[in-house]
Amino acid sequence: MLENHPKFKELKFTLYRIFKNPTAFMGFALLLVFIFIAVFAPRIAPPKNPHNPYMIPHSGYAVTPKAPCEKHIFGTTTGQYDIFYGIVWGTRTAFRIGIFVISIALIIGVSLGTIAGYYGGIIDEIIMRLVDVVFAIPFLVLAMAIVVAFGRGLDNIMYAIAAVAWRNYVRVIRSGILTLRDQEFIQAAKIMGVSDFKIMIRHIIPNAIFPVMVIAFMECGSVVLTAAFMSFLGLGAPKGYADWGQMVAMARNYIVGPPGDPLKFWYTIIIPGMAIILFVLAWNLIGDALRDAFDPKLRRR
């Protein structure tokens, strides 16, 4: 019976550990809301420009934002760009940034960390010294330098962050592999003539990947926050593109309203800012739940 299979029992126990944590429900609920918005964006906010639906439609060119109304339920930012449309399609942009960056960083980091930990010796030294060099430069400084060198744009921001984010995964998976490579089942596979590549793919990585995945979930929101910060500085998408960081940048002159009414233009900052906060919070809550579920010190309590 499937219910009595050891792997099924372990999976059932792991899922119980994850959803036992109330913050996991909140994290997954928030993430499902964002997934729903991203999937049904064309129905929630029908695109005005079918050739590039990510360009936010605007009604006029007035500089001063307009408050929420029946036509623009979240109001408009400077240039009369519709905030609601930008939030909806910006959800797709956020997922594209997070998934792309983390996927590339995982592939690079896990590959280098596995090779370094499995083979050791001079190969390990070369890879880890490279990681030390990358760690010596602050994350944002290095990412911004890459963007400036290769040109501004959202795509270049994603490439730049991915080119730096892999360093965290190398050390984590390498430390796990150092304890695995001398285990009896690994030595038995070598004696049986199994190739190093198959050993790494079938035995090493599956047993060392869980801490890396926890970090990946938590950093998926962080890279979106980093991209938003770089867009705020003017290094990201062009004006009018559905990107939450770009929307906050367009409203920078209206963070504080006129004298006597400092919160007059609150919607230009609060709404895109809350979208960023909730998106990052969702991934962090899920990451915390996964960490507690896979932590061997807490797992059997």
pLDDT at residue 13 in the model: 58
Euclidean distance between CA atoms 239 and 55, whole angstroms: 9
How far apart are the C-alpha atoms of 282 and 275, rounded to whole Å? Answer: 11
Averages of pLDDT over each 10 residues, the chain, 301 residues: 52 62 83 95 89 86 86 89 94 94 93 90 91 88 88 88 90 88 84 86 85 87 89 84 89 84 89 93 86 58 50
pLDDT at residue 244 in the model = 92
Which residue is it, tokens 């609150």?
266
The pLDDT value recorded for residue 15 is 63
The pTM (predicted TM-score) of the whole model is 0.86
The residue type of 108 is I
Quickly tell me which residue has 């938590």 as its tokens. 218
pLDDT recorded at residue 2 = 44
Q: Which two tokens stand for residue 185?
A: 């089942």
The DSSP secondary structure of 78-95, one letter per residue, reads TTSBBHHHHHHHHHHHHH
Which tokens hold the place of 93? 């942009």
**E strands along 30-181, which residues?**
none
Rounded distance, CA 77 to CA 245, Å?
13
CB 76 within 8 A of CB 65: yes
pLDDT reported for residue 97: 93
Cβ neighbours for 138, distance < 8 A, ≥ 6 positions apart: none
CA 251 – CA 267 distance, rounded (Å): 9
137 token code pair: 């430069």
Q: What was the pLDDT predicted at 104?
A: 93
Please say whether the dihedral angle defined by the alpha carbons of residues 70, 75, 80 and 83, taken in this order, is positive or negative: negative
Question: Are 100 and 161 spatial neighbours (Cβ–Cβ below 8 Å)?
Answer: no
